[in-house]
Amino acid sequence: MSDIVLFEELVCEDGSKLGLATLNTPKTLNGLSLDMNRLLADQFEVWAADEDVVAILMRGAGDKAFCAGGDLHSLYHAMTEQPEQSATVQGYPGTFFSEEYTFDYRIHTFPKPIIVWGDGIVMGGGLGLMMGASHRVVTETSRLAFPEITIGLFPDVGGTWLLNRLPGKTGLFLGLTGAQINAADALYAGMADYHLPRSTWDSMIAQLKTQPWSRSTSEQAGSANSKLAARVCNDSLIHQVLDQLGSEPAPTIGSLQQHAPLIQKLCSGSDLNAIVKNLLALSDNPDPWLQRAAKTLSAGSPGSARLTFELLKRIKHVSLADAFRIEFVAGMGCAVHGDFAEGIRALLVDKDKQPRWNPATLEQATAEWVSKFFRAPYSPEQDPLRALGT
């Protein structure tokens, strides 16, 4: 099992070390499984405590993806073979979501710099790993998306918190349509910090190894000021390396930025039915990117559209920790009485691409219908995320 994530420690010229974690299931586009998440979480804590480790890098094996999402097959089998367990935090879906969300939150609050090499496909659970990193890199091959509407889920792993912080109404648009964006749009939307050509990986590592890293000494280990000073220094060193190797993406303006004014117009207001009607009309637009967005929304789960819309409203003004807790409750709801299992069946199991959504229409997916996704099936003392942010 240990080879599903490869861990290395790269020794620098000054004797400090860089931790390197490589997701190593390229045949499944490095989809994040529960075992992978556990390996990552454990190793990151080892590196957090190691004074010699000054920064961490994450990448995906192969040339197609950093991480295309979560391990949906295991979730499907758990939801269909042990449905009575899906409503409990001890069941597989509850365990998977709680441990994934806990690690993703840890990335957001990690005490050392984290560089994520977001090469190739970065979707769903992959974005959960990438978004909290201090230095997020995209390349000419990067394709980012929250495609959960196609499987009856919603943009989770902090996705709704992130989408609320994108320019204008672009977050709502991406959440409803699952539209893919390139490197230029990732930079525009604030979902990435640097664009580096894929070919610069070796140069980046070589330059990082030569940096005069700052480390807290054993005598200073308990000093918060010392750790903060080291962190600020090392963040700056990484920025200098990435900035020097960085380049303008081609094209320099992506589809999301190009169509931002139109998206703002179509997605404004508080009537989801009207917004969806506006977006579906994009099927007649001459731009293929907008056509695909309308097609994905049309084929997607109406319940997911409603749930995504309501989550964006509820999470807009809460903390990141509370956002994860709200998403966890909604994720548990999807495992019990949503379209999640059906969406996975149609897309990945039977592959007939004919999901039988329930509710079948957006008119049936009312605000009253979606309210059950915000009622926790457990007491506050049983909440596995209760310690986040404390």
- pLDDT at residue 2, rounded to an integer: 65
Dihedral sign, Cα of residue 364, residue 272, residue 370, residue 349: positive
pTM here is 0.95
Q: How many CA atoms lie within 13 A of 269 on its CB side?
A: 12
**Distance set, CA 173 to CA 147, 253, 263, 354 (Å):** 11, 18, 7, 23
Q: 96 exposed, middle or buried (CB, 10 Å; 0-12, 13-18, 19+)?
A: buried
The residue whose two tokens read 């084929």 is: 299
In tens digits, the chain (390 residues) has pLDDT values of 569 999 999 999 999 999 999 999 999 999 999 999 999 999 999 999 999 999 999 999 999 999 999 999 999 999 999 888 888 899 999 999 999 999 999 999 999 999 999 999 999 999 999 999 999 999 999 999 999 999 999 999 999 999 999 999 999 999 999 999 999 999 999 999 999 999 999 999 999 999 999 987 544 455 678 888 999 999 999 999 999 999 999 999 999 999 999 999 999 999 999 999 999 999 999 999 999 999 999 999 999 999 999 999 999 999 999 999 999 999 999 999 889 999 999 999 999 999 999 999 999 999 999 999 999 989 999 999 999 998
Provide the angle, in degrees to the nearest 10, between the axes of the packed helices 320-337 and 92-108: 160
**Distance set, CA 348 to CA 51, 85, 222, 267, 345 (Å):** 44, 22, 49, 30, 6
Query: What is the rounded distance in angstroms from the CA atom of residue 30 to the CA atom of residue 12?
Result: 28
Contact at 8 Å (CB) between 144 and 118? yes
CATH superfamily of 2-382: 2-enoyl-CoA Hydratase; Chain A, domain 1 (3.90.226.10)
Residue 150, amino acid: T
Contact at 8 Å (CB) between 27 and 65? no
- pLDDT at residue 219, rounded to an integer: 45
- pLDDT at residue 226, rounded to an integer: 81
Task: Give the pairing of strands 114-118 and 53-60.
Answer: parallel
**Radius of gyration of the chain, Cα coordinates, nearest whole angstrom:** 21
Domain ranges in the chain? 2-382
Query: What is the rounded distance in angstroms from the CA atom of residue 143 to the CA atom of residue 293?
Result: 14
State the SS3 of 330-368.
HHHHHHHHCCHHHHHHHHHHCCCCCCCCCCCCCCCCCHH
- pLDDT at residue 1, rounded to an integer: 54
Token code pair at residue 95: 């365990």
The residue whose two tokens read 């902090």 is: 158
Q: Which residues on neighbouring strands pair with residue 135, listed in sequence order?
A: 115
- pLDDT at residue 260, rounded to an integer: 98
Query: What is the rounded distance in angstroms from the CA atom of residue 159 to the CA atom of residue 157?
Result: 5
Dihedral sign, Cα of residue 11, residue 14, residue 15, residue 19: negative
